[in-house]
Amino acid sequence: MSVLRSGFLLHGLLWLACGFSFTPLAVAEEPIRFSPIVISSDAPNQGFVIEGDPKQARQPIPASDAGDFLRRTPGFSAQNSGGTNSDPVLRGLGGSRLNILFDGGEVIGACPSRMDAPSSYIAPETFDQFEIIKGPQTVKYGPVGSAGTVLFERRTPLFMEGGVRGRIILQGGSYGRFGQVADVAAGNEQGYIRAIGQHDRAQDYKDGSGEKVPSKWMNWNGDVLLGATPSADTLIEIGMGAGDGEARYAGRNMDGAKFERRISTLRFEQYYHSGALESIEIRAYHHANHHVMDNYSLREPSMMAMAMPLKRTTTGARLTSYWQFGENALAAGVDGQVSKHQDQHQQQWHTDMDSQQLGYFAELEWQLDALQKLVAGARMDHYGTKDHRLMLAGGHGGNTVAAPNATYNERRRENLPSAFLRYEVAPIAATTLYAGVGHTQRMPDYWELFSPKNGMHAGPNAFALIKPEKTTQLDAGAYWQNNTLKAWLSAYLGRIDNFILFTGDEVGNVAAEVMGAEVGSTWQLHPNVAVDSALAYARGRNKDEHKALPQIPPLDANFALSYEEDKFSAGVIWRLVDSQHRVAHGQGNVVGLDFGPSRAYNTVALNGAYRVSSQLTLSVGADNVLNKTYSEHLNKAGSAGFGYPAEKRFNEPGRQFWLKADYQF
């Protein structure tokens, strides 16, 4: 029994030291505060790593998907198209610049307009842990996310003796919101079986002026995990899952009628107790996504009724070995992936793209002395992408006249390196400073190579034309904590060569610069009263065209005052967002283009929570209490199909109420 415990205790340490975050070099002796019951904004546990329990209550209203979940974190925002399936953006950079992993694997959507961003397939409350690593400061998770890496992980705690445990969440709110999550596991020393089911839905919401915004959505997910622990140091887990959903989009000319996913995963972990090799981890996954968008099942068609079915399958694996040499830790491994995209003509499925990636990496944590360490990593990726399109039919699935494809049957190959180096120091107790530099080269993704219209009018084809994007970024920050105050800062300055930029439906490479910071604090001004603040600012410049980079969110600040007793908490959150005048009209990415400046706004939200027992917590909230009418800067222009005038943003929800019951057994 104790051996079993030690194996997984060891894993817990690895999880902290290697797998996810780098443990702070020094920590204050006492936590300054109980974990708040309702989270106002997720603060980093160090400058650039944020982690937490995605099942915990957060304001505003429980997130509809991972995009909605992430956009509440300082530094994040999202390109919004309606009530759900927004595409998350970190520091103004989204799409494939943000590497989002679903239980160790990449889920790549099928929609050529990214209606089904990876985050749209992730129901946060069905996961145990999320982790955000800002900047190109790790090389362990597949192709490096140049803006950052986000991990949603399930980690089933082992059963030391036979038993059953679980968690049931019920949540409801304004505009027909009603969601359920059930997560039940049974097992003993030899293994476990775990079933996780989720269903959630909402009707169209109304903005602060009482106008209905087309935004109705529904999603469900079901997953089963079977784990075996044949010895104290071995874990084998297989997982199977499925899900589907639908979404009406105020900001698109078609709605998402199907977001079907099928997933199989395999996880193997082996721990060793002698020698330098500590453990080996293997993760394998197969994701099959079937997406349909149409203009008739969730709206009255304003033109000829049409539907577009699409499929994507992605299969991959990663092997990581963890080593310990004295005080120094090394993680080294290899990962790879094959992916295929299909669309449908005359009821027949046709492959338009297939791609492969193979990479190998090593990341070293070198403890210089008790107070200083260096972390360095490097990886190399080999990519191949094949163009199967005989004819080009225009970008975004438009029905423009088809033209012969000059790159039919061609395969592009790229070998792209990435590396980073970071120095961390704890000059005084409970303080960490870090500074790092990272470089990563990103293969253009499906949306950049296949969705643009380049090549339609005898112009150069995006598939042949677009160069890999090269990001070089300095990341620096600080984390400081004493018994009553915690403060943190993470800042960055980056240069992006061959930044992949959409101008209308066409795409090109430009030189760009990005810079910004997130800063925040928690002040426990009384044993029961805390003040949280967070502020995020991002700025981007297109050096070639001497103007702003598009789709950069404005300054966003968040202040929260909370009162907590042992069983009860109440809070008020004031969010202030500045106007954004740095825009690049008609430019952006496949999801959205800038169409003008946006106005400043502020909203107030209230929450309360009560721990009925150690098992049951109730929380309630009211968002946008003052019923303001406002829209976010990153917003698809409202669809003409719903009567929105050209280039008019659709609004965010007016006042809404929610209630969440969280029961653990």
Stretch that binds Cu ion, among 34-42, 108-116, 158-166, 646-654 (CB under 5 A): 108-116
Sign (positive or negative) of CA dihedral 388, 391, 392, 398: negative
**Measured from the CB of residue 52, what is the shortest distance to Cu ion in angstroms?**
31
**591 touches Cu ion (CB under 5 A):** no
Distance between CA atoms of residues 211 and 359, nearest Å: 50
Q: In whole angstroms, how close is the CB of 422 to Cu ion at the nearest point?
A: 39
What is the closest distance, in whole angstroms, from the C-beta atom of residue 122 to Cu ion in the complex? 17
Whats the size of the chain, residue-wise? 665
User: Contact, 576 vs 557, CB < 8 A?
Assistant: yes
CB of residue 639 to Cu ion, shortest distance in Å: 13
Distance in angstroms (rounded) separating the CA atoms of residues 209 and 553:
24
Shortest distance in whole angstroms from residue 290 CB to Cu ion? 11
Q: Which is nearer to Cu ion, 183 or 445 (CB)?
A: 445
Q: How far is the CB of 292 from Cu ion (least distance, A)?
A: 8
The distance of closest approach from Cβ of residue 111 to Cu ion in the complex, given in angstroms and rounded to an integer, is: 3
Question: How many beta carbons lie within 10 A of that of residue 154, not counting itself?
Answer: 21
Residue 60 or 256 with smaller CB distance to Cu ion: 256
CA distance 632 to 375: 37
The interface region with Cu ion, picked from 106-114, 347-355, 464-472, 544-552 by CB under 5 A, is 106-114
Cα 396 to Cα 437: distance, rounded to the nearest angstrom: 36
Q: Of 293 and 443, which CB lies nearer to Cu ion in the complex structure?
A: 293
Q: Which residue in the set 115, 476, 549, 557 belongs to the binding site for Cu ion (CB under 5 A)?
A: 115
447 or 479: whose CB is closer to Cu ion?
447
Shortest Å, Cβ 486 to Cu ion: 42
Q: Which is nearer to Cu ion, 100 or 115 (CB)?
A: 115
Burial 419-447 (b: 16+ CB within 10 A, else e): bbbbbbbbeeebbbbbbbbbbbbbbbbbb
Least distance in Å: CB of 293 to Cu ion?
3
- Give CA–CA dist 150/648, Å, rounded: 32
Tokens of 127: 């996961």
Residue number with CB closer to Cu ion (122 or 573): 122
Q: Report in angstroms how near the CB of residue 148 gets to Cu ion at its nearest.
A: 25
3-state secondary structure of 510: strand
Q: Is 110 in the site for Cu ion (CB under 5 A)?
A: no
Q: Number of residues in contact with Cu ion, rule: CB under 5 A?
A: 3
Q: Which three-class secondary structure string do you get for 112-160?
A: CCCCCCHHHHCCHHHCCEEEEEECCCCCCCCCCCCCEEEEEECCCCCCC
Nearer to Cu ion (CB atom), residue 115 or residue 158: 115
Q: Could you say whether residue 293 binds Cu ion (CB under 5 A)?
A: yes
In whole angstroms, how far apart are CA 271 and each of 392, 589, 629? 51, 44, 55
For the chain, the straight-line distance linking the first and the last C-alpha, in angstroms and rounded, comes to 23
Rounded CA separation 2/463 (Å)? 56
- The answer to whether the beta carbons of residues 132 and 152 sit under 8 Å apart is no
Alpha helices in 328-482 (DSSP H): 446-449, 462-465
Beta bridge partners of 387: 353
> Measured from the CB of residue 360, what is the shortest distance to Cu ion in angstroms?
34
User: Smallest distance from the beta carbon of 303 to Cu ion, in angstroms?
Assistant: 17
Cβ at position 508, least distance to Cu ion in Å: 24
Name which of 81 and 569 has its Cβ closer to Cu ion.
Answer: 81
Q: Which is nearer to Cu ion, 136 or 256 (CB)?
A: 256
Q: Is 557 in the site for Cu ion (CB under 5 A)?
A: no
The residue among 55 and 299 lying less far from Cu ion, judged by its C-beta, is 299
> Closest residue (Cβ) to Cu ion?
111
User: Using CB under 5 A, which of the segments 114-122, 169-177, 313-321, 322-330 binds Cu ion?
Assistant: 114-122
Question: Which residue, 274 or 399, has its beta carbon nearer to Cu ion?
Answer: 399
The nearer residue to Cu ion, 107 or 549, going by C-beta atoms, is: 107
Given a contact cutoff of 8 angstroms between Cβ atoms, the answer to whether 389 and 418 are in contact is: no
Region binding Cu ion by CB under 5 A among candidate stretches 80-88, 112-120, 218-226, 516-524: 112-120
**Least Cβ distance, residue 251 to Cu ion (angstroms):** 13
Backbone angles phi, psi at 399, to 5 degrees: -95, 45
Cis amide linkage into residue 60, ω under 30° from 0? yes
Which span sits near Cu ion by CB under 5 A: 107-115, 182-190, 634-642, 649-657? Answer: 107-115
Interface with Cu ion includes 111 (CB under 5 A)?
yes
CA angle in degrees (0–180, nearest 5) for 458-463-468: 130
Interacting span for Cu ion (CB under 5 A) from 293-301, 604-612, 640-648, 656-664:
293-301
Q: Which is nearer to Cu ion, 120 or 265 (CB)?
A: 120
Could you tell me the smallest distance in angstroms from the CB atom of residue 116 to Cu ion?
6
SS3 (DSSP) at 461: coil
Query: With CB under 5 A as the contact rule, which of the stretches 207-215, 266-274, 285-293, 550-558 interacts with Cu ion?
Result: 285-293
**Which range touches Cu ion (CB under 5 A), out of 30-38, 109-117, 191-199, 337-345?**
109-117
Nearest to residue 512, comparing CAs of 538, 475, 549? 549
Cα 415-419-421 angle, rounded to 5 deg: 175
Is the CB of residue 265 less than 8 Å from the CB of residue 239?
yes
Residue 293 vs 466, nearer CB to Cu ion:
293
The residue (of 400 and 627) whose beta carbon lies closer to Cu ion is: 400
Q: Which of the residues 458 through 517 are near Cu ion (CB under 5 A)?
A: none
Instruction: For residue 480, give Cα distances in angstroms to 20, 44, 359, 520, 583.
Output: 20, 11, 36, 11, 35
Helix residue spans in 521-642 (DSSP H): none
* Interface contacts to Cu ion, rule CB under 5 A: 111, 115, 293
